[in-house]
């Protein structure tokens, strides 16, 4: 994320799309199903929580992070690089 943020123009947008678990890891249902699949298929695999995704943004210097929950079970995290 840090390299991506460095490459953005001032006020450039960054979006992250995924089946994002709530911090409880118990919802939304679609993300829980993906998490169970990851745990069974990949060594040490699991889906990320909203807080974990937000930490990626924060570590890259982004601070005004917005989450939009989509009807499909996906979520989008969005921010702009400060100009």
Answer yes or no: pTM beyond 0.85.
no
Interatomic CA distance for residues 21 and 43, integer angstroms: 19
CATH top-level class for 2-77? alpha beta
Interatomic CA distance for residues 9 and 53, integer angstroms: 22
Residues 6+ apart with CB under 8 A from 11: 80, 81, 82, 83
- What is the DSSP-derived secondary structure letter of residue 48? P
Give the number of C-alpha atoms closer than 13 A to the C-alpha of residue 71, restricted to the C-beta side. Answer: 0
Q: Please say whether the beta carbons of 21 and 77 come within 8 A.
A: no
- Residue-range domain boundaries for the chain: 2-77
pLDDT tens-digit series, residues 20-69: 888 998 888 888 888 888 888 888 778 889 999 999 999 999 999 999 99
pLDDT of 80 higher than 90? yes
């Amino acid at each position: 994320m840090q390299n991506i943020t460095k490459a953005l123009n001032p006020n450039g947008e960054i979006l992250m799309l995924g089946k994002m678990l709530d911090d409880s890891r118990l919802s939304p249902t679609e993300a829980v199903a993906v998490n169970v699949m990851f745990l069974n298929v990949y060594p040490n695999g699991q889906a990320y929580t909203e807080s974990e995704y937000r930490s990626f943004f924060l570590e890259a210097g982004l601070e005004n992070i917005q989450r939009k929950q989509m009807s499909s079970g996906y979520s989008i995290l969005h921010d702009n690089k400060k100009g």
